[in-house]
Amino acid sequence: MCVQPESSDRLALGLDFGTESVRALLVDLKGTERSSSAVKYEHGSITETLPTTGEMLPPDFALQHPGDWVEASCQAVRDALEQAGLTTGDPTAAVVSIGVDFTSCTMLPARADGTPLCLCDEYIGEKYAWPKLWKHHGAKTQTDRINQLARERNEPWLKHYGGVIGLEWFFPKVLETLEKAPRIYDETDVWLEGGDWYVWQLIGADQPVPRSTCIAGYKAMWSAEDSYPSPGFFKALHPKMANVVKDKMPGTLIAPGRPAGTLCATMAKQMNLCAGIPVSAAIIDAHAGVPGVGVGEPNTLVMVMGTSSCHMLMHNEAVEVPGVAGIVKDGILPGYIGYETGQAAVGDAFDWLRRMLNHDSFDTLTKQAMTVPPGCQGVTCVDWFNGCRTPLMDGTLTGAFTGLTLNHHAGHMFRSLLEASAYGVRWIVEVLEAGGVPVDRFVATGGLPHQSPLLMQVYADVLAKPVMVPGTRQGPALGSAILGVLAAGEAVSGFASTSDAVKAMAGHMEKTTYTPNDAVKSAYDQAYHRYRLQVDRIADK
């Protein structure tokens, strides 16, 4: 039996879907964490073989199992409830809202009833029926053709994305499927984002498909003014795609922080929750991090640093900035223009190099890197090991280590990668500021900033600005919880505005601030110059 609880006991549930695991966070409306649980996906990122058939996947493939999203999230919610002492009966009614953030563009084909095609017997062995993870890179030629056609037709939406759309986005992945597995395209009733699919499951598949304006705006060339690209564009791209939006993308566009519906009985049962709890539309995981670290003001760059980095910034005006991937009105928080930039390999690259250099942990490499002076004695790394997101938006670009001599060692390799990551941010800041968007403050969040004080000091030194690291490791989860509360409405939350909610629930957290060291500025300036030269050489393929 579900009874409305006292206001002091009201809890918000935030669900944060990452690349390898999902986290459930229970937090009260003052921002105090009650409990948290992370559960790994059984199949993780699927990059080697298809789980059902064992078929070897091409090297640019990265898939996920939609069953993992449901199984792992329900487990995480049950764990979090248990940790919070909310195991049976009324106490579960304390949960008053659900917010969801998700990796993007992670997308899939589904039946009209919400069943993912890859879970239908007839498609279970067909790799193109599976959800494509954000870092799936199978749509290279399709991306090129979309960009070329858009430029030829001077498509109005192109300017929102710095003049080029990305390899990892929604329509390249749709077109890839159409061309590589036309039967899958034909049999798909609903193409949609993983985050939208999950919220649809939460509210019940009898409801209209709840499509996030944030995700559509950042990954599917949608805008409030112009909707999706026109049928004329899609027809020119591929005759069968002319009506892809009308025929295969049903649903309602809803902003994060607005209600998508309420928790259905089926999912409520699996989560040990009450049916009827308000559910917000989904938001991209990185974007949830902005309110999640207490940032409600413009011109602060929030760097969400995990396997990859997504950097977000709000600004009062919409300015076209060449090379900036997503400029979306209300794309992060209402009232501001959201600017999204990113780096495609950060923690992924650190981990890859650690394995390459045959170390079990980062301890020794970090110690060795600290013996190397800023600028790495001439070694320059270009960190494009998973392509370049901002500002070149080219997933086919590759990484490099240059300037190496027999006098260098593993510490130089590792430090040069940390520095490259910082130079990448500095470049992004220069691109934004040259485009008229000032970057006044830096906040670093996600898993990495807590793991490497050295990395954060390098960032502060290279950017020549303080970098603030919030104490929470759960920025996106807290941000999605805040958006869930907003979706539940003022009557439930008592918050009159978005910024009130951000301030109340994420304004008091502990933080560490890394301060730039003036003594190393010129060494980093020189090394950054070398980095930009290398970058130009590699980009000039």
Q: How far is the CB of 408 from a copy of itself (least distance, A)?
A: 8
CA contacts within 13 A on the Cβ side of 443: 29
Bridge partners, residue 470, by sequence: 511
Cα separation, 171 vs 110, in Å, equals 15
Pair type for strands 259-262 and 278-280: antiparallel
In terms of residues, how long is the chain?
541
Exactly one of 112, 224, 356, 370 binds a copy of itself (CB under 8 A); that residue is 356
Answer whether 34's CB lies under 8 Å from 61's CB.
no
Is there binding between residue 358 and a copy of itself (CB under 8 A)?
yes
- Give, as one character, the DSSP assignment of residue 11: E
Instruction: Specify the residue, 127 or 408, whose C-beta has the smaller distance to a copy of itself.
Output: 408
Backbone angles phi, psi at 46, to 5 degrees: -95, 105
Is there binding between residue 154 and a copy of itself (CB under 8 A)?
no
Q: How far is the CB of 377 from a copy of itself (least distance, A)?
A: 8
Window of 146-154, 263-271, 351-359, 438-446 that interacts with a copy of itself by CB under 8 A? 351-359
Could you give the string, one character per residue 458-487, with x where binding to a copy of itself holds by CB under 8 A and - elsewhere?
A: ------------------------------
- Identify the CA nearest to 428 among candidates 295, 539, 311: 311
Cα separation, 124 vs 500, in Å, equals 47
User: What would the DSSP string read from start to end of 248-262?
Assistant: H--SEEE-TTSEEEE
- Give, as one character, the DSSP assignment of residue 31: S
Is there binding between residue 347 and a copy of itself (CB under 8 A)?
no
Is there binding between residue 400 and a copy of itself (CB under 8 A)?
yes
For 315-331, give the secondary structure using H, E and C: ECCCCCCCCCCEEEECC
Q: How far is the CB of 351 from a copy of itself (least distance, A)?
A: 9
Is there binding between residue 359 and a copy of itself (CB under 8 A)?
yes
Could you give the string, one character per residue 11-50, with x where binding to a copy of itself holds by CB under 8 A and - elsewhere?
A: ----------------------------------------
What are the C-alpha distances in Å from 128 to residues 62, 176, 181?
Answer: 11, 9, 6
Exactly one of 113, 405, 496, 519 binds a copy of itself (CB under 8 A); that residue is 405
Window of 142-150, 184-192, 280-288, 347-355 that interacts with a copy of itself by CB under 8 A? 347-355
Is there binding between residue 331 and a copy of itself (CB under 8 A)?
no
Is there binding between residue 348 and a copy of itself (CB under 8 A)?
yes
Exactly one of 73, 386, 421, 480 binds a copy of itself (CB under 8 A); that residue is 386
Could you give the string, one character per residue 52-81, with x where binding to a copy of itself holds by CB under 8 A and - elsewhere?
A: -------x----------------------
Exactly one of 94, 214, 345, 520 binds a copy of itself (CB under 8 A); that residue is 345
Q: How far is the CB of 276 from a copy of itself (least distance, A)?
A: 44
Residue 44, classed as helix, strand or coil, is coil
Residue 280's H or E segment, with its range, is strand 278-280
Cα separation, 78 vs 91, in Å, equals 13
Backbone angles phi, psi at 37, to 5 degrees: -145, 130
Contacting positions for a copy of itself (CB under 8 A): 59, 345, 348-349, 352, 355-359, 378, 385-386, 398-410, 413, 537-538
